[in-house]
Amino acid sequence: MRNYARPVMQNTQSSFFFRALKRIWNIKESGIIIPTIIYAIFVQLMNPIFFSVSNVGNFLRQTGFVLIPAIGMTMVLIVGGIDLSVGSVLALACVLSGLMMVNVGWPVWMPVWMPILLSIVVALLIGAFIGLINGTVILKFGTPPMIMTLGMMFMARGMVYISTRGLPVYPLPKEFMRIEQTSWFNIPSIVYLSLVLCIFFHILLSRTTFGRSVYAIGGNKAAAKLSGIPIGRISITVYSICGAMAAIAGIMMSSRLGSAQPSVGTSHEMNVIAACIVGGTSTFGGRGTILGTAIGALFMSMLTNSMTLMKVDIYWQNLVIGAVLVIAVILDQYKRASAERGAKIAVL
């Protein structure tokens, strides 16, 4: 008697495998998920150290520092704006929290955790306030987002150097340093924080009226206005969120370093924007997801980390990262043009 069990089992496994591939292919973010998986396998074959425990912790930590401000940047890009000030806001939050913990004369009776908590809250409020200024000026005076946030980038960086005279602020309390330097299962705490923020803002964008309004504003501002969506209030809120996210990254950076460095966050906005665009967020507004941004940030961190492991010259690294960003923008424009052509054909 023939045994038919093995062929049936093999067919079941094959069908399950193809169904899984089909699900991945149909995901909106498959355009970045698939290249990320392929690239990770390629680098692991080239350098077995890539997926070692210590190195995974390194590029996940790097991903967290990019991803947190990239969450806010994604929302800004979806409404059709941009924020070039996130790197400077990161540095300002980093420095202000450090100055408050070190230089403010806190009462002796106050518990150690209270100055740390107050410093963190003030830094977050400052970040949100800068975002509020950005959004208000852009909406009320019609200032182009790139010009306004570029000016704020220089102003915030100027405040950093004025308050520190270019000198680092240290030593920071050990209790504060433990916030970022603590790890669970060899994974840094910033990775867990970025995951929590990703889940929260994914739900906010995909399951709430606020999120639908954000997409509507970026997709067609005139139609959103006719629908009664408060364009000004939502856009200003999005910029405030972006500033607060940059401040969170700055606070975690000072906790990581054990000091507040005035030069921190320099050119960080470029990494953040690159992560968003590579993750599928459109530079024209109306399209993008938090999951795509998370995968984009992971891909960019893996790219930088792998090139360092393979001892690629830093100048070549910049060239490769720039090329990846340009390709992502070209693909974004191609997708947009294809969607517009499809819409015109459907109307005809």
- Condensed to tens digits (0 to 9), the pLDDT of residues 227-252 reads 899 999 999 999 999 999 999 999 99
* Alpha carbons 52 and 43: distance in angstroms, whole number: 12
* Alpha carbons 123 and 4: distance in angstroms, whole number: 67
Residue type, 105: G
The 10s digit of each residue's pLDDT in 256-310 is 999 999 999 988 998 999 999 989 898 888 889 999 999 999 999 999 999 988 8
The percent of residues above 70 in pLDDT, for the chain, comes to 86
306 and 43 Cβ atoms separated by less than 8 Å: yes
The 10s digit of each residue's pLDDT in 75-85 is 999 999 999 99
Q: How many CA atoms lie within 13 A of 218 on its CB side?
A: 26
283 and 332 Cβ atoms separated by less than 8 Å: yes
Token pair recorded at residue 146: 């790139």
Residue 111 is predicted with a pLDDT of 81
DSSP three-state, residue 148: helix
280 and 296 Cβ atoms separated by less than 8 Å: yes
344 or 124, which is more confident = 124
Interval 9-23 mean pLDDT: 61
Residue 11 is predicted with a pLDDT of 58
* Alpha carbons 146 and 269: distance in angstroms, whole number: 12
The long-range contacts involving 156-159, CB below 8 angstroms and separated by at least 24 positions, are 156/85, 156/88, 156/89, 156/91, 156/92, 156/130, 157/88, 157/91, 157/92, 159/92
Token pair recorded at residue 290: 């938090």
Interval 4-17 mean pLDDT: 57
User: Helices 113-141 & 86-103, crossing angle to 10 degrees?
Assistant: 150
Residue 298 is predicted with a pLDDT of 94
Helix (H) or strand (E) holding 327: helix 314-347
322 or 157, which is more confident = 157
Token pair recorded at residue 99: 């100055």
pLDDT at position 347 over 60: no
Global pTM value: 0.88
The 10s digit of each residue's pLDDT in 156-210 is 999 999 999 889 988 888 999 999 998 888 899 999 999 999 999 999 999 999 9
* Alpha carbons 309 and 311: distance in angstroms, whole number: 5
Helix (H) or strand (E) holding 188: strand 187-188
Beta strands 187-188; 183-184: pairing state: antiparallel
Spell out a b/e string for 41-66, using b for 16 or more CB atoms within 10 Å of the CB, else e: eebeeeeeebeeeebebbbbbbbbbb
Non-local CB neighbours of 37 within 8 Å, separated by 6+ positions: none
> Closest by alpha carbon to 274, among 252, 293, 251?
293
Q: Which CATH class is domain 54-308+316-330?
A: mainly alpha
Token pair recorded at residue 295: 């995968």
Residue type, 22: K
Task: Report the phi/psi class of residue 300: left, alpha or beta, with left for phi > 0 and alpha for psi in -120 to 50.
Answer: alpha
Whether the bond between 171 and the residue before it is cis, its omega within 30 degrees of 0, is: yes
pLDDT at position 40 over 70: yes
